[in-house]
Amino acid sequence: MNTVRTQNYKNLLANTLRERADSYLIGELIQRYPNPATLIDVTEQELISIKGIGVSKAKQIIAAVQLVQELAAPLPEPVIIRTPNDVFSLMEFELRYASKEIFVCLFLNTKNHVIAKEIISIGTLNASLVHPREVFRAAIKRNSASIICCHNHPSSNPEPSTEDIQITKRLVSVGELIGIDVLDHIIVGGHCFVSMREKGLMDIGAR
């Protein structure tokens, strides 16, 4: 490790433990653990054996190392929505057994990666519970390019109701005005689902 990196490492240790960078304690740590990688598997007992390190400081060091490892860990693969079945696979467990209707929005970026998921309402689906204002406020906050709506039918029958169709067309209409596409509305009922897009029920010009 070069001189600059060694000094940075020393300063970080000093700041973590609230010690001076030129103190005996920091010098001893650098001597035993000359770079951050050597601290990865350090134990509390090993640290306590160093003069000036008690249980509290040992826990501080271990927590700092674990935090760095967590931040450096690779991010999980993004969830990509390509088909209605992808939505069903993502939401089935959450919605299938719910005793009330839960209306959820998936917020997507321009590559159809799911960037967030939010429950918009819980209860019987109607216009007062699912208002475009709440849906698109959440979408705008997340810089979403598009959204997918989904909700469940506790009856296990996923066929869209008249209310489902009306609310969906209202959302599509508002989405067109503000530039956020409503790609689909998936209704989960038991072990199956209906895509309102596939059924042709999202055309705001249709009656």
The per-residue DSSP string of 2-23 comes to: -HHHHHHHHHHHHHHHT--TTS
Pairing of the two strands 192-195 and 114-122: unpaired
What pLDDT is recorded for position 34?
Answer: 87
What pLDDT is recorded for position 160?
Answer: 94
Yes or no: say if 149 and 168 are a contact pair by the CB < 8 Å rule: yes
Yes or no: say if 2 and 47 are a contact pair by the CB < 8 Å rule: no
Question: Which tens digits make up the pLDDT trace of 124-157?
Answer: 655 446 889 989 999 999 999 999 999 999 999 9
Question: Which tens digits make up the pLDDT trace of 90-128?
Answer: 999 889 888 889 999 999 999 999 999 998 888 765 544
What pLDDT is recorded for position 45?
Answer: 92
pLDDT tops 50 at residue 198: yes
pLDDT tops 90 at residue 177: yes
Phi, psi torsion values for 21, nearest 5 degrees: -65, -25
Domains (ranges, CATH) in the chain? 3-72 (1.10.150), 84-195 (3.40.140.10)
Distance of alpha carbon 1 from alpha carbon 187, whole angstroms = 57
Phi, psi torsion values for 189, nearest 5 degrees: -140, 110
What pLDDT is recorded for position 93?
Answer: 87
What pLDDT is recorded for position 85?
Answer: 96
pLDDT exceeding 90 applies to what percent of the chain? Answer: 57
Distance of alpha carbon 193 from alpha carbon 189, whole angstroms = 6
Distance of alpha carbon 54 from alpha carbon 36, whole angstroms = 20
pLDDT tops 60 at residue 82: yes
pLDDT tops 60 at residue 206: no
Question: Which tens digits make up the pLDDT trace of 12-70?
Answer: 888 889 899 899 999 999 999 988 778 877 899 999 999 899 999 999 999 888 877 76
For the whole model, what pTM was predicted? 0.64
Residue 163: C-alpha distances to residues 58, 144, 201 (Å)? 60, 25, 12
pLDDT exceeding 70 applies to what percent of the chain? Answer: 91
pLDDT tops 60 at residue 75: no
What pLDDT is recorded for position 128?
Answer: 43
